[in-house]
Amino acid sequence: MLVGSAGQPGGLTDAWSDLDVLIVIEDGALKRYYPSIEWLRPMGTVWALEQPLSGVATRVRFADFRRLDLVFRRRSELSDVAAWGASLLWSGHRAIFSRSMDLDAALAQTFARPAPPSYDAASFYQLVNAFWFAAGVAVYKVVRGDLLIALHLALELEQQCLVLCMLLRDREEGIDPPSRWGGGAAYIERLQGVHHEHTAGILMMIEACAILYDALAAQYGDSYAEHRDPLLRNIAAARVTLSG
């Protein structure tokens, strides 16, 4: 079942769109499709993948930069579809292939839009306290000349600023800002004192990191093969898109 933006009625996609797919499968057949990825290889060369620890899902990027986000559910989980269906199906969905009328009926119902994620007071305190503790350690590391750890911590601090920006963005705009176009530009502007560039500069940083990572990984592992070319090609394509 196609879900996400492409699953919406009249959903728009372009060359940069990924496809979100819900796969409901017989319980005993799950291991053929997760965590295995062999069944995906006829679709193209798998360049990178992620299988989050929370949930049964595979996010795969092919060498031509097509991306599939696959979420698996066992047939036995249909009895609890109200609990997990909202996060996947509230914004629209359409069946790609099905051989089960009861499956079609269970997934065809209307699902309520979930509330944006939020932190309770105790969790927020832990988040904030962790930031300030890390900031203090970063200053100490600079003073002691441990610039590697200092930079590592500084980048984590920027990431935590972005976490707060995302939480604020989601609270203001809901959990469905246009994924096709992003959102939260006003918060990026507020980070200008941290990062002076947020389009071309970020692409340059990603590009430089990719080249460096290839070199470091090759130095560490004898069997490592360079992995950056698909990424660099798409950075070049992104520059063309942005310049237009």
Alpha helices in the chain (DSSP H): 81-89, 101-107, 121-143, 147-173, 185-190, 200-220, 229-243
Q: What is the pLDDT of residue 61?
A: 96
Mean pLDDT within 125-152: 92
Q: Is residue 193 scored above 80 in pLDDT? A: no
Three-state SS at 156: helix
The domains of the chain are located at: 2-107, 121-243
DSSP state of 62: E
Q: Which of 193, 187, 136 is nearest to 165 (CA)?
A: 187
- Residue-wise pLDDT tens digits, 86-137: 888 877 788 888 888 888 888 888 888 777 777 788 888 898 999 999 999 9
Q: What is the pLDDT of residue 83?
A: 81
User: What residues pair up with 4 in beta bridges, in sequence order?
Assistant: none
The pTM of the full predicted model, rounded to 2 decimals, is: 0.78
Evaluate whether 53 touches 36 at the Cβ level (below 8 Å). no
**Counting beta carbons within 10 angstroms of the beta carbon of residue 122, is it exposed (0 to 12), middle (13 to 18) or buried (19 or more)?**
exposed
> For 59-73, 159-173, 226-240, which range has the lowest pLDDT when averaged over its residues?
159-173
Report residue 176's pLDDT band, with 50, 70 and 90 as the boundaries: low
**Sheet containing 93-94: which strands, arranged edge to edge?**
46-50, 57-62, 67-74, 19-25, 2-3, 93-94
Q: What is the CATH number of domain 2-107?
A: 3.30.460
Mean pLDDT within 57-68: 95
Q: What is the pLDDT of residue 174?
A: 66
Rounded CA Rg of the chain: 21
Token digits of residue 193: 């004192």
DSSP state of 115: P
CA–CA distance, 93 with 1 (Å, rounded to integer): 7
82: Cβ–Cβ under 8 A, 6 or more apart, which residues? 111
DSSP state of 14: -
Q: What is the pLDDT of residue 196?
A: 47
Q: Is residue 226 scored above 90 in pLDDT? A: yes
Q: Tokens 């292939």: give the residue.
A: 97
Q: Is residue 66 scored above 90 in pLDDT? A: yes
Cα angle 208, 211, 214; round to 5: 145
User: What residues pair up with 71 in beta bridges, in sequence order?
Assistant: 22, 57
Q: What phi, psi does 67 have (nearest 5°)?
A: -135, 135
